[in-house]
Amino acid sequence: MITAYLESVRKQFEYYKLLGEMTFRQLSDDQLFWKFNEDSNSIASIVKHLHGNMLSRWTDFLTLDGEKDWRNQDSEFDNDLKDRKEILEKWNDGWQCLFNALDSSNEENFDTVVYIRNQGHTITEAINRQLSHYPYHVGQIVFIGKMLKDYHWESLSIPRGESGKYNAEKFAKPKGKQHFTDEYTGKESGQNT
């Protein structure tokens, strides 16, 4: 059960990582730094925040509080990254920290209580907390991207008006067990039993 849960949440996180990356690919370098107004965040600053949160939450997460004393959350929203390369480095660094932590979780340590700001969490609660937080911000990234691309936006899921065709293709295949994210991450293998 624990292994299945960890595999499932990893796929969920990989899916949201992919949605962000599919958005980045559609945008120019300048668009990654665009802000609606002075009180809003650019995609770059959202990435910087996710990076800070991920490093804080997942570095030594079994033994140290998830809110590290070296974290400066307020500065995470400063729009001071320099270019696409730096954005992608922060993006990948944060996600790698998360995946390393997930990989270190197993049946032997799954009963460990982990802390975030001195509040105890089961590992499941700590993971689910971030599985709610990160998609919230990835959704912001996607929404900003969609606004910027306007009619040139390439849908990241089922394009408008094509749900009937999509469903017909799905129901034309035999029933099988698979994770819904497999088709997005290229791991779809047809029929799994």
pTM over 0.75: yes
- Record the tokens describing residue 128, joined without a space: 């689910």
The band of 187, judged by pLDDT with boundaries at 50, 70 and 90, is low
> Domain boundaries in the chain?
2-156
Give the architecture (CATH level 2) of 2-156.
Up-down Bundle (1.20)
Q: What count of residues does the chain have?
A: 193
Q: How far apart are CA 145 and CA 165, in angstroms?
A: 26
- pLDDT of 192: 36
Q: How confident is the model at residue 186 (pLDDT cuts 50, 70, 90)?
A: low
Q: What is the DSSP letter of 159?
A: P
* Number of other CB atoms surrounding residue 83 within 10 Å: 12
Rg (CA), the chain: 18
Distance (Å, rounded) from C-alpha 50 to C-alpha 174?
A: 39
Q: What pLDDT, in 10s, does the model give residues 112-152?
A: 999 999 999 999 999 999 999 999 999 999 999 999 999 99
Distance (Å, whole) CA 112 – CA 144: 38
Q: Name the 3-class secondary structure at 115.
A: strand
List the one residue out of 54, 49, 28 whose CA is nearest residue 140: 49
DSSP-H helix ranges across 39-181: 43-58, 84-104, 123-149, 163-171
Locate 78 and state its tokens: 């400063």
Structure tokens at 177: 């067990």
